Amino acid sequence: MLRTSSAAYLLARARTPEPPELADIAWLKALLPNERERALADLKVVQVEGGELLCRVGRPATYWFGVIDGLLKMSNDTAIGVPITFTGIAPGGWFGEGTVIKREAYRYNIQALRKSLVAGLTVETFHWLLDRSIPFNRFIVQQLNERLGQFIAAREIDRLGDPDARVARSLAALFHPILYPNVGSLLRITQQELGYLVGLSRQRVNEALSRLGVSEAIRVEYGGVRVLDLERLRGYGMR
């Protein structure tokens, strides 16, 4: 039961965003009043159900997306059909700027792991801001820089043999304060969802989380994980 969403469909369902949802968009606050006004007018917010695809490989990029609430995953289908997950995208995270800048087609699938609120800025407005706003450019540069760091870290995670360490580092990535500023100290994610992201069974994730809890790096809660010590989580299993 996998529903797909065309850009037109998303647009048709979009509603005008309300202040509480937009209050947490970091880059909006840095804009000049007239630029912010235009961005606000262009922003669309849609609710997507768990399992829905926001963008598909090959579709032309029409929006730059941001997660208001919920959890998404970025993945790709390999030649043999086994999808590989690149990363999860948590509240406050924005993505797709690489593709939007080049005016190309999406190179990955973005799927909602559960019901989520997603904001979209059109390519036109994105470029309009890129052409005149220095704060906006700063945000984008920082965004690209941080994400590069995260992808390099992800390569290391893949090579880690210890499942506990993989869960720890993947979790730490989702608590990245710059890429996902609105996660806070409590990340709403089920152990099943975390299993999808890390590529482990739910049982193994459960086991890993228990140990991370014992080490005081996190506290396992119903339907989520609370970070007690982000540094400890990042360095779990290293010596």
Segment interacting with DNA, rule: CB under 7 A, options 122-130, 161-169, 171-179, 201-209: 201-209
Question: How far apart are alpha carbons 171 and 154 in whole angstroms?
Answer: 11
> Coil, strand, or helix at residue 203?
helix
Assess 125 for contact with DNA (CB under 7 A): no
Assess 142 for contact with DNA (CB under 7 A): no
Binding mask 7-46 for DNA (x = CB under 7 A): ----------------------------------------
Q: Which spans in the chain are helix H? A: 7-13, 19-22, 26-30, 33-42, 97-102, 123-132, 134-159, 163-174, 191-198, 202-214, 230-234
Give the residue with the Cβ less far from DNA, 38 or 204.
204
Q: Please, is 218 exposed, middle or buried when counting C-beta atoms within 10 Å of its C-beta (0-12, 13-18, 19+)? A: buried
Quote the distance between the C-alpha of residue 164 and its chain's center.
22
Which of 122, 182, 206, 215 lies at the binding interface for DNA (CB under 7 A)? Answer: 206
Segment interacting with DNA, rule: CB under 7 A, options 10-18, 41-49, 152-160, 206-214: 206-214
Assess 5 for contact with DNA (CB under 7 A): no
- Which spans of this chain sit near DNA (rule: CB under 7 A)? 114, 190-192, 202-203, 206-207, 209-210, 220, 222-224
